[in-house]
Structure 1
C-alpha cells in the first residue's frame, strides 16, 4: 500500500473519538486511554478516527509518545508516520518506549536508542512488572529536531 496523506487528516481528539481510540488500543493489548487530553487523531473523510497518538509530558518536561496506534486496516497508508512527524514538529523532541516489533518503524523515522533513565518513570512504569515484557522486548528511543533538521 502506498502512503497517501490525502486519505486522512489530523486533529485533536474529541470525547466522541474515545470509543475508537480505546478499541484500537485494546486490539494492541493496551489499556484504555484515560481521556482525550494529549491525543491527536488521524481521521478519514467521514471524520472517523483511523489512528491516534497520545503525548504525555513527564516530570522531566519532555514529550513522550504513549502510544501511537493505527487501525489495522489503515496500516501502510502513512497514518502512524504522519502522527509521529506532526508531534515531533510540534514538540521538537519525542521520547518513547517502543515495543520490539515497532522498533523498525521508529528507526525509519530517525529515532535511535536512548538510556532507560532518559524516559520519564511515569511512562516506563507501564513496562515494569508487565507479564508481556519478555515477549514485547521494549526499547527506549528518542528523536530531537535540531535547527529544523531531523537529528
Structure 2
C-alpha cells in the first residue's frame, strides 16, 4: 500500500491565509477562526485542504465546508477529511452544493430533510444569491 502524500492535523490560525484563499476560490466566505478546522497538509506542512466541523444547535456536527486546493483534487484529500471527521464524531450533516452531491453520495451520505440541518448552517443558503445555481441539498451520514 502506498503512503499518503498528506496528513491531517488540527487547523492553526497561521493556516488561515491558505484556507481562506481556497475558500474564496470556491466562492465561499472566509473562516472566522481555526476553531473546529481539520487540515490536510503536505510533507512541508502546507495546507492542501480543510474541513470545518460545527456543532449545531440540534447537537449534531455539521461539515461547513470541506475544500481541497485545486491542484490536490483527485488525491483523496476531501474523502480523507470527511472520513476522518466521521470517525471522530460518528454522525455528520452538511449542505452539499449540487456539483458535490455525487462526491458525498459516493461516501455514503443520503439526502435528509432541511430540518435535520442546524438553523445557523441552513441560514447560509437562505437568501443566497447563488442558491439557484448552487442547488443545495441537505445530506447526512451516521456510522453504524
- Which bracket does the TM-score occupy, shorter chain normalised? over 0.9
TM-superposed deviation, 1:5? 5.9
Taking structure 2 as the reference length, the TM-score comes to 0.98
Give distance in 1, aligned partners of 2:115 and 2:11.
Answer: 30
Taking structure 1 as the reference length, the TM-score comes to 0.93
Determine whether 1:102 maps to 2:100: yes
Aligned to 1:139: 137
TM-superposed deviation, 1:6? 1.3
**Count, aligned residues:** 143
Give distance in 1, aligned partners of 2:111 and 2:38.
Answer: 24
Contact 1:94 1:143 in 2 (8 A): yes
Give distance in 2, aligned partners of 1:126 and 1:119.
Answer: 11
Q: Deviations over 1:8-67 (max 9, x none)?
A: 000000111000000000000001000000000000000000000000000101000000
Determine whether 1:119 maps to 2:117: yes
Q: Any gaps of 5 or more consecutive residues in structure 1?
A: 147-151
After superposing on structure 2, the runs of 4+ consecutive aligned residues of structure 1 that deviate more than 6 Å are none
Q: Any gaps of 5 or more consecutive residues in structure 2?
A: none
Contact 1:5 1:77 in 2 (8 A): no
Aligned to 1:86: 84
